[in-house]
Amino acid sequence: MSEHNRIVVGIDGSEAAAKAAVWAATWAGESGRAVHLIQAVKPTASGVPERALAEAQESLATVAASIDTGLGVTSEIAETNPVTAMVQASRSADALVLGTGGEDGWAGLPVGSVASNIAASVYCPTVIIPPTAEPTPHAGMPVVVGVDGSPEGAAAVRYAAELAHSERRPLLLAASGPDASALDELLQRTSAAVERAVPGQRVDTRVSDGDRREFLSELSEEAALVVLATHGHHGVGGFLLGETSQAMVGAAHCPVLVLTARSLGMES
């Protein structure tokens, strides 16, 4: 996991972004990390409009005043588009946090908009906060991770296991498909790998023969966080997140942490 010791939050003046900042501040405070707020203001041919700059300054100040990590909150206005701003910030962040549910800016979901492009392009994990997410997950709620047997999926399991261990939460391995026997075997191997990598971590498993996206959405109702590895390509070049990750962002009831090959350091 990253050691930059800061969480970056995308701010756009929306209620969804403010809610994401509250969630990020709670997460950061529990793990001893700082919060850095970024609002993008795209310049015109004549520069950055004064009104837009003033609105961004006011938005950042309002959000910063509403959160407290104990380690301080910093902020900046990035004079560029939101995707470029967050990709640049991701190079020195443990994670990015974005809200969903708005009409545009950072919060323009469903996936296929700014937020999905950011998640698919950045160099660190992206946590996307749905409107129904609780600001502070209840103690004992698990970290859920989708298991599919891929190299990216295995790396996501390791990330989720370390995260669950650091937050003293159970880890729930979830897999779905038509072959229950094969899935049980996959989860047994994965559980054993987690126990070797993170001794003492509690691991539970769930299998479903239904749709993977619906299964993960159901599990998210009782989860602190869902971790997914996407098999999609980079967003900046016009590519999108993997199909399951796209659907989960729109259907989840808790925050979704998206890992790409780039953010996992597996980019070829």
Same domain, 150 and 252: yes
Nearest to 75 by CA among 51, 59, 88, 95: 59
Q: Which amino acid is at 184?
A: D
Domains in the chain: how many in total?
Answer: 2
pLDDT of residue 262: 86
Element (H, E) at 127: strand 126-129
The domain in which residue 239 lies consists of 143-259
Please, are residues 36 and 75 in contact by the beta-carbon 8 Å criterion? yes
Q: Between 265 and 238, where is the model more confident?
A: 265
Same domain, 189 and 242: yes
Q: Between 190 and 68, where is the model more confident?
A: 190
pLDDT of residue 243: 59
Tokens of 217: 């959405």
pLDDT of residue 113: 57
Mean pLDDT on 85-89: 94
> For residue 119, is pLDDT > 60?
yes
Cα distances from 159 to residues 53, 68, 110, 195, 263, in angstroms, run 38, 26, 26, 13, 11
Same domain, 125 and 161: no
Taking only the tens place, the pLDDT of each residue in 147-202 is 989 888 899 999 999 999 999 999 999 999 999 999 999 999 999 999 999 999 99
Domain-located, residue 20:
yes
Q: Give 1's pLDDT tier (boundaries 50, 70, 90).
A: low
Domain-located, residue 135:
no
Same domain, 183 and 110: no
Burial class of residue 16 (count of CB atoms within 10 Å of its CB; 0-12, 13-18, 19+)? buried
Domain-located, residue 33:
yes
Domain-located, residue 264:
no
Q: Residue 158 is part of a domain; what is its CATH number?
A: 3.40.50.620
Same domain, 118 and 152: no
Q: Between 16 and 1, where is the model more confident?
A: 16
Domain-located, residue 88:
yes
pLDDT of residue 245: 63
Mean pLDDT on 86-92: 94
Same domain, 161 and 197: yes
Q: Give 242's pLDDT tier (boundaries 50, 70, 90).
A: low
Domain-located, residue 268:
no
Same domain, 27 and 108: yes
